A and B are shown apart, each in its own frame.
Chain A
Amino acid sequence: MNTSPEVNSSPDIARPAVLETAGLARRHLFFASLCAGLAALAAIGLLAVSGWFLTAAALAGSAGVATAMAFNYLIPSAAIRLLAIVRTLARYGERLLSHKVALEGMADLRGALFDKLAAQDSRHAPDTSPGEASTRLIDDVEALEDLVIRQPARHAAVVSALVSLALVAFGGWRALLFLAAMMAALPFLFSRISAALTHAPAEEAAAALGDLRTRYVELAGSRAEIAAYGLADQAHAELEPIAHRLDEARRRLFRAEALQGALLSIYGALAVAGVLLLARESAPMVALAMLATASAVEGTGGLSRSLLRRASLEAGLRRIAALNALDPALHQPVTAAPGTLALGRHRFEPGARVAIVGPSGSGKTRLLLALAGMQEPVADLRLRGEPIAALPAAVLNGQFALSPQDAPVLIGTVADNLRLARPGVSEAEMWEALKIAQLDRRIARDETGLDTPVSEGGGILSGGERKRLSLARALLGGRPWLVLDEPSEGLDRDTEARLVDSLRHWLDRTGTGLILVSHRPVPLALCEKSLQIAELA
Chain B
Amino acid sequence: MLRKAVKLYLHGLFNLIYVKFARVLIPAAWLVDVAGAALFAWGVASGVGAIATKHGASGGVTLLTPAAWIVCGALLRAFAVCSVDRLAVGAAQAASRTRRAGLWQKLLGGRLARPISSGESANLALDHSMAIENRDQRFSPIRINAIVGPLVVALIVTPASWVAAAIMLATLVPFTLGMILAGTASRRAAERQLDALGALSGLFVDRVTHLPLIRHFGAEARIGRQVRAATGDVARRTVTVLRTAFLSNAVLEFFSALSIALVAVYCGFSLLGLLPFPAPEKLTLVPAFFVLAMAPEFYLPMRRLAAAYHEKQLGEAAAKALAPLDEQPAAPKPSSHEPATAFDGLHVEHLRLAFPGISVGPLSFELAAGDLAALSGPTGSGKTSTLAAIAGQLVPASGHIATLSGAALPPDSVAWAAQRPLLMTGTLGHNLALAAPGTRDAEVLAVARQVGLGDVLDRRGGLAMAVDHAGSGLSGGERRRIGLARAILSGRPLILCDEPTADLDEASAAAIITLLVTLSAERCILVATHDAALIAAARREIAL
Name the residue of chain A whose CB is nearest to the CB of B436: A229
Name the residue of chain A whose CB is nearest to the CB of B121: A220
Q: B93–A53 contact, CB under 8 A?
A: no
Q: A231–B380 contact, CB under 8 A?
A: no
How close is A437's CB to chain B, nearest CB, in angstroms?
14
Tell which of A26-34, A337-345, A404-412, A507-515 binds the partner. A404-412
**Number of residues from B at the complex interface, CB < 8 A:** 161
Q: Which of B220, B285, B382 contacts A58 (CB 8 A)?
A: B285
Dominant secondary structure at the A interface: helix
How close is A260's CB to chain B, nearest CB, in angstroms?
10
Q: B85–A463 contact, CB under 8 A?
A: no
How close is B430's CB to chain A, nearest CB, in angstroms?
10
Name the residue of chain B whose CB is nearest to the CB of A228: B416
Interface string of B363-394 (1 = CB under 8 A from A): 00000000000000111111010011001010
Q: Which of B82, B250, B532 contacts A519 (CB 8 A)?
A: B532
Q: Which of A212, A251, A281, A406 contacts B379 (CB 8 A)?
A: A406
Q: Which residues of B contact A134 (CB under 8 A)?
A: 201, 205
How close is A204's CB to chain B, nearest CB, in angstroms?
15
Q: B73–A115 contact, CB under 8 A?
A: no
Within 8 A of A (CB), among B404-449: 411-412, 414-416, 418, 420-422, 424-425, 434-435
Name the residue of chain A whose CB is nearest to the CB of B64: A277
Within 8 A of A (CB), among B1-31: 8
Any B CB within 8 A of the CB of A107: yes
Tell which of A3-11, A118-126, A183-191, A310-318 binds the partner. A118-126
The A/B interface has a contact count, at CB < 8 Å, of 494
Q: B108–A223 contact, CB under 8 A?
A: yes
Q: Which residues of B contact A394 (CB under 8 A)?
A: 218
- Bound form: Cα–Cα A128–B214 in Å: 12
- Bound form: Cα–Cα A104–B228 in Å: 11
Q: A397–B249 contact, CB under 8 A?
A: no
Q: B108–A73 contact, CB under 8 A?
A: no
Any B CB within 8 A of the CB of A95: yes
Q: Which of B43, B100, B483, B505 contacts A361 (CB 8 A)?
A: B505
Q: A133–B208 contact, CB under 8 A?
A: yes
Any B CB within 8 A of the CB of A166: no
Name the residue of chain B whose CB is nearest to the CB of A122: B212
Tell which of A15-23, A80-88, A156-164, A497-505 binds the partner. A80-88
Q: Which of B81, B470, B502, B504 contacts A262 (CB 8 A)?
A: B81
Q: Which residues of B contact A467 (CB under 8 A)?
A: 378
Within 8 A of B (CB), among A18-70: 42, 46-47, 49-51, 53-55, 57-62, 65, 68-69
Q: Which residues of B contact A103 (CB under 8 A)?
A: 235, 238-239
Q: B223–A420 contact, CB under 8 A?
A: yes
Q: B205–A138 contact, CB under 8 A?
A: yes
Q: Which of A130, A360, A362 contacts B530 (CB 8 A)?
A: A360
Q: A118–B109 contact, CB under 8 A?
A: no
Given A87-B257, A117-B211, also A254-B71 (CB < 8 A): no
Q: Which of B118, B206, B215 contacts A397 (CB 8 A)?
A: B215
Q: Which of B378, B391, B416 contacts A405 (CB 8 A)?
A: B378
Interface string of A398-432 (1 = CB under 8 A from B): 10111011111011100000011111000000000
19 sampled A-B residue pairs with Cβ under 8 A: A58-B284, A84-B258, A87-B253, A108-B228, A111-B224, A118-B220, A131-B119, A220-B118, A223-B118, A232-B108, A236-B108, A247-B97, A251-B93, A262-B78, A268-B74, A282-B51, A407-B380, A462-B359, A490-B543
